């Protein structure tokens, strides 16, 4: 029993760096998962954070940008170094920057940091990790975005462990991930993947059900700027309808600060 209380106390003290299942940071009402990443923002406020990631695809940019502009919203975009350095995407990045959206890092080469089968087994050294992250920020600096402008770091594949969380912290950054429960992060899947594929209608309906059952205060809603051409059922085409629905439910939307 004594050891249990010591463990609980330790978790509460170091929640931002260590995490214990999904614990709340009492100072900011954030939720940090057991692997050390923030997975929900202020749970006392009826605010949703739209987050988009991208590495090699950007087919949904025009639709997403038009939808955000229509609703007067600012969102957060986590892009890999390869995305930042791709010539055809430079105009998109500049538009997002000029519009005042949050632009962050998502690894330089979209590396898998730890195995899918055994999460505590690393696939990279700290040296490789540091280079991957800092190379991403080097590309961002070419657009006038410094590390201080983007202190939240979204790991590639949204897959990480406590060691990655600690290394992120040592770089002066905060590990950040999406809120689970809606499958929105699976909007990249395509029919050829079989049971892994999740349709946009399914995702949309899961969001509605989640909101009705649990509410979405501080929810970090992640989807992708673009997806493989084999997915013709693009979820970003439903973004306008989804935002409208959530606005009717009384939610506001915010980018990261």
Residue spans of the domains in the chain: they are 27-253
CA distance 188 to 229: 10
**pLDDT tens figures, 127-172:** 999 999 999 999 999 999 999 999 999 999 999 999 999 999 999 9
Assigned CATH for 27-253:
3.20.20.370
Under the banding of pLDDT at 50, 70 and 90, the label for residue 23 is low
**Residue 7 Cα distances to 1, 14, 28, 29, 120, angstroms:** 10, 11, 22, 21, 20
CA distance 147 to 222: 22
The predicted structure's pLDDT at residue 28 = 75
Give the residue from 122, 117, 135 showing the smallest Cα distance to 164. 122
The predicted structure's pLDDT at residue 25 = 58
Here the contacts of 196-202 (C-beta below 8 Å, separation 24 or greater) are 199/233, 200/233, 200/234, 200/235, 200/237, 200/238, 201/233
The contacts of residue 109 (CB under 8 Å, 6+ apart) are 80, 81, 82, 132, 135
**pLDDT tens figures, 90-132:** 999 999 999 999 999 999 999 999 999 999 999 999 999 999 9
pLDDT(22) > 90: no
pLDDT(198) > 70: yes
Give the residue from 60, 105, 55 showing the smallest Cα distance to 78. 105
Under the banding of pLDDT at 50, 70 and 90, the label for residue 1 is very low
The predicted structure's pLDDT at residue 8 = 35
The predicted structure's pLDDT at residue 174 = 97
Provide mean pLDDT across the span 55-80.
98
Give the number of other CB atoms < 10 A from CB of residue 91. Answer: 10
């Amino acid at each position: 029993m004594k050891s249990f209380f010591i463990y609980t106390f330790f978790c509460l003290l170091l929640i931002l760096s260590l995490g214990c299942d999904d614990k709340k940071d009492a100072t900011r009402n954030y939720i940090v998962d057991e692997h050390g990443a923030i997975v929900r923002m202020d749970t006392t406020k009826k605010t949703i954070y739209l987050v988009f990631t991208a590495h090699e695809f950007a087919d949904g940019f025009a639709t997403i940008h038009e939808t955000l502009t229509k609703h007067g919203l600012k969102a957060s975009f986590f892009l890999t170094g390869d995305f930042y350095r791709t010539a055809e995407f430079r105009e998109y990045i500049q538009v997002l920057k000029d519009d005042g959206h949050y632009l962050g890092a998502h690894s330089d080469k979209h590396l898998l940091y730890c195995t899918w089968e055994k999460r505590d087994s690393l696939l990279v050294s700290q040296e490789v990790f540091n280079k991957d992250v800092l190379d991403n920020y080097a590309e961002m600096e070419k657009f006038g975005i410094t590390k201080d402008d983007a202190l939240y770091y979204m790991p590639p594949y949204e897959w990480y462990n406590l060691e990655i969380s600690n290394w992120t912290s040592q770089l002066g950054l905060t590990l950040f991930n999406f809120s689970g429960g809606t499958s929105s992060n699976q909007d990249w899947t395509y029919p050829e993947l079989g049971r892994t594929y999740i349709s946009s209608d399914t995702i949309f309906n899961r969001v509605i059900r989640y909101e009705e059952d649990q509410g979405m205060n501080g929810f970090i809603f992640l989807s992708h700027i673009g997806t493989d051409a084999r997915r013709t059922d693009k979820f970003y085409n439903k973004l306008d309808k989804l935002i409208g629905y959530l606005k009717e439910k009384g939610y506001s939307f915010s980018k990261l600060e």
